[in-house]
Structure 1
Amino acid sequence: MKNQYMGKLVGGLIGFLTLGPLGLLLGLWVGHAFDKGLGGLAQFASPEFRAKIQESFFTTTFRLLGCLAKADGRVSESEIAHAEALISQMGLDTRGRQRAIALFKEGSSKDFELEVVVNDFLGLAGRHPQLKQTLLLFLISMALADGTMDPAERNVLDHIGRLLGFSEAQVAHLLRMAQAQGRFHETPGSQGPVNDIQVAYDALGVQQTASDAEVKRAYRKLMSENHPDKLIAKGVPDSMVKLATEKSQEIQAAYELIKKQRAKV
């Protein structure tokens, strides 16, 4: 509270000294905007508010996962298995697991209010684009769980994307990246390392014509976005941050393939 007027005081003083009374008014206006933004940052940094963000992220994610799974009229076995795999990876205790399943079922019910849930989430996290993108990527992962993208699922995904502030082109770009990154996911019985260089470029979201510097920049950006400390700081629950480790491994594998291919040229 003691700093809530600092921007106005400094802005008003500088404005008055440089432009006189008119500058004072301008400085007060700029300072007010600064104080407002600083207050928002301070609130987001507080443990109490971050806990609210984490709770909202958790509940919103599993509700929307259920909604997306039911988009084509039924929740498939692969979608249920994917949701259970997410829960297992998160290492939730019995109570947390039961809660996640209940939220998933709530989202798949016929009277689920999608817009209300997304708007509630935006009320807390609307000013943090990375948090919204992380949520969208979780949903994309569910949409791809059964290996296909049903038109109904795509429609719901695009609708959620629009509510979160993403265009259909942006959703399509994230979808292509997620599909490509998934090709680098190593599981027991997998077909071995990916050798399709185009898939590697798609995983990083760049063209094959990109320079070495552009490829490295895209790689570092993705690794930074999936860094556990940064995700926690943005409000992703600790239990869900564990999922970022696998994503980082997929991105790393794609980048290594590109470097290997370019070294031969």
Structure 2
Amino acid sequence: MWGKILGALFGLALLKVPGLIIGVLVGHWFDRAFKQQFEANGGFNALFTDTLDEQGLFRYTTFATMGHIAKATGVVTSAHIQQATQYMAQLGLSASQQKEAQAAFRDGKAVNFPLRPQLQKFYQTYRRRKDVLQLFLEIQLSIACVNGQMTNAQYSLLQQVAGYLNFSALQLDRLMQAYQAQHRFSGRSHSSSAADNLADAYKSLGVTEVVTDAELKKAYRKLMAQHHPDKLMAQGVPAEMLDLAKTRTQDIQAAYELIKQRRSRS
């Protein structure tokens, strides 16, 4: 509203009636753009929400859900515990934060853990921040795909988690395919098949080998924007978890550069 009012006043002062009309149109465009950005950042709820509470919710829900997915195999394996521990080490958590994360992981392993209410609370807090929800889901994929293996029970549970966060089954499958391809791509040795590396580079960016250069660049930029640490931090992701986003952007960059090199040779 203020955009239209200010635009009308400035337009009227500069160009009289024609300026008034132009000012209202420009102000309307400004109001619309501002509204979209405001809602994307959480709307009025974000103004009255304690950022520390949001970050605590993100931390707890992340590790509790990891514990629940790990337990879906029937027993939490040493590989699952190692994966969770590696995350804690990678995040550089303080001693007290590590204890909180470990407690959340134990809570999640409980048979009666209230997964749905916990994720509903999480979704209500971050529902207008899709990139944050996607990062959360990618973290859960990492615990489900330990050693490249996922049980049917874990996949079924991941579908539930995705559903609670308003992701479709198709969106989950695409994320899972991209994650698995990226995991293979970043974990391969230099002696691995060049064809396999290139195929997984494409898959990790969510595109096929027949994509045009323009479409490739668009997909790359979209992924980089979704995982940009500064953007995610502004949207409520705890600072210590931004290393995950940084690693993801580095992997995206590496895949994109490999594809560009191969295309330049052909």
In structure 1, the residue matched to 2:261 is 260
Q: Amino acid of the residue matched to residue 258 of structure 1?
A: I
Instruction: Go from structure 1 to structure 2 and tell me whether the alpha carbon gap of 1:123 and 1:257 turns closer, same or farther (over 3 Å shift).
Output: same
Counterpart Cα distance in 1 of 2:80 and 2:39 = 41
Change beyond 3 A, Cα 1:39–1:105: closer
TM-score, with normalisation over the residues of structure 2?
A: 0.81
1:63 aligned to 2:64? yes
Shift of 1:191: 2.6
Render the CA deviation track for 1:98-128: whole Å, top value 9, x for unaligned. 1101100100111101101001111211222
Q: Does the 8 Å contact 1:200/1:257 carry over to 2?
A: yes
- Identify if the C-alpha distance between structure 1 residues 133 and 38 changes in structure 2 by more than 3 Å, giving closer, same or farther: closer
What CA distance in whole angstroms lies between the structure 1 residues aligned with 2:47 and 2:217? Answer: 30
What SS class does the counterpart of residue 242 from structure 1 fall into? helix
Partner of 2:228: 227
Structure 1 match to 2:189: 191
Structure 1 CA distance for aligned equivalents of residues 69 and 191 of structure 2: 30
1:65-109 CA distance string (max 9 Å, x none):
000001111111111100000000011111111110110010011
Matched, 1:99 2:113: no
1:44 pairs with 2:42: no
Aligned to 1:242: 243
Asked if 2 retains the 8 angstrom alpha-carbon contact of 1:90 and 1:239, the reply is yes
Q: CA deviation at 1:42?
A: 5.1
Aligned ranges for residues 62-211 of structure 1 at < 5 Å? 62-186=63-187, 191-192=189-190, 195=194, 196=196, 197-211=198-212
State the distance in 2 between where 1:156 and 1:54 align.
Answer: 24
In 2 relative to 1, CA 256–58 (structure 1 residues): closer, same or farther, beyond 3 Å? same
Q: Distance in 2 between matches of 1:212 and 1:206?
A: 11
Structure 1 alignment gaps of length 5 or more: 1-5, 14-29
Contact 2:42 2:128 in 1 (8 A): no
Give, in whole Å, the separation in 2 of the partners of 1:131 and 1:91: 20
Match of 2:24 in 1: none
More divergent stretch after superposition (214-223 vs 100-109): 214-223
TM-score with structure 1 setting the length? 0.82
8 Å CA contact 1:79, 1:146 repeated in 2: no
Kept after mapping to 2: 8 A contact 1:180/1:203: yes
Structure 1 or 2: more helix by fraction? 2
Instruction: Give the root-mean-square deviation of aligned CA atoms.
Output: 3.0
The corresponding residue for 2:214 is 213
Q: Which residue of 1 aligns with 2:23?
A: none
Offset of 1:251 from its aligned partner?
A: 1.2
Measure how far apart 1:40 and its partner are.
Answer: 5.0
- Residues 1:39 and 1:199: Cα distance change in structure 2 (over 3 Å): closer
Q: Letter of the 1:249 partner, please give it.
A: Q
Q: Give the superposition deviation at 1:129.
A: 1.3
